[in-house]
């Protein structure tokens, strides 16, 4: 199965160039780099990973064709890493009758005696009870985790693009306080494309857990 393409957004200074898969966005960013290469102070061209707001490091050297070929080779090499011979999976012996493999991973769990006593009394035994508890906790935490992740990604972006902009400190406090109205107020003077992209990143940051 082919891995999902990296979705990203490119900025030339405060102006958003394009958003989409890296292979579609990177050539447009390369064109911006080449177009302003002779300027005394060319604007920074940055490509952000939409999932993390990390800046994707790209080698801008060479012609557009050479740049794209190098990028394609880089993506291909990271998408399907070679498996060392010693790590190749060993032949699996045919399974006998019984329960099918569930992909369960065995690891040590340390609990108090009363916890083990309670688990042992549950239907299906300790392992089944633990899995049910983990699934219940995971679903309960999903909304909160989305909020936390969205705020972290948004803060990473605004720190890079507006760390010295007026109202940054106030906007940061509003973000982590969950005060959307205050955040919008303190970012009013920021470039429109920066504000628009920031609010897109923060789409899940205001969900009430």
- Read off the pLDDT of residues 77-106 as tens digits, 9 standing for 90 and up: 877 655 554 554 545 445 555 555 556 777
- The pLDDT value recorded for residue 116 is 84
- Among 170, 173, 169, 176, smallest CA distance to 152 is for 176
pLDDT-based confidence at residue 209 (cuts at 50, 70, 90): low
Residues 6+ apart with CB under 8 A from 103: none
Query: What is the mean pLDDT of the segment spanning 165-194?
Result: 97
Q: Tens of pLDDT along 128-157?
A: 888 888 888 787 788 889 999 999 999 999
**Least confident residue range of 58-62, 76-80, 96-100, 115-119:** 96-100
3-state secondary structure of 85: helix
- Count of CB atoms within 10 A of residue 29's CB? 24
Q: Residue 183: its pLDDT value, please? A: 98
The confidence score (pLDDT) of residue 88 equals 47
Contact of 54 with 91, CB cutoff 8 Å: no
**Structure confidence at residue 130 (pLDDT):** 87
The pLDDT of residue 114 is 87
């Amino acid at each position: 199965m082919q891995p999902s393409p990296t979705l990203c957004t490119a900025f030339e200074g405060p102006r958003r160039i394009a958003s989409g898969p890296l292979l579609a966005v990177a050539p447009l960013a390369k064109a911006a780099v080449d177009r302003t290469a002779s300027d005394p102070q060319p604007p920074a061209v940055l490509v952000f990973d939409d999932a993390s707001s990390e800046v994707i490091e790209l080698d801008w050297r060479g012609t557009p064709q050479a740049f794209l070929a190098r990028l394609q080779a880089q993506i291909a090499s990271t998408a399907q890493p070679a498996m060392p011979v010693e790590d190749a999976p060993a032949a699996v012996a045919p399974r006998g009758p019984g329960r099918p493999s569930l992909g369960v991973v065995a690891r040590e769990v340390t609990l108090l005696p009363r916890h083990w006593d309670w688990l042992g009394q549950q239907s299906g035994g300790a392992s089944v009870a633990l899995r049910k508890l983990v699934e219940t906790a995971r679903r309960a935490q999903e909304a909160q985790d989305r909020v936390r992740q969205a705020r972290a990604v948004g803060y990473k972006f605004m720190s890079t693009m507006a760390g010295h902009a007026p109202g940054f400190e106030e906007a940061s406090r509003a973000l982590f306080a969950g005060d959307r109205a205050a955040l919008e107020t303190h970012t009013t003077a920021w470039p429109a494309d920066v504000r628009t992209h920031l609010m897109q990143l923060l789409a899940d940051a205001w969900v009430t857990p």
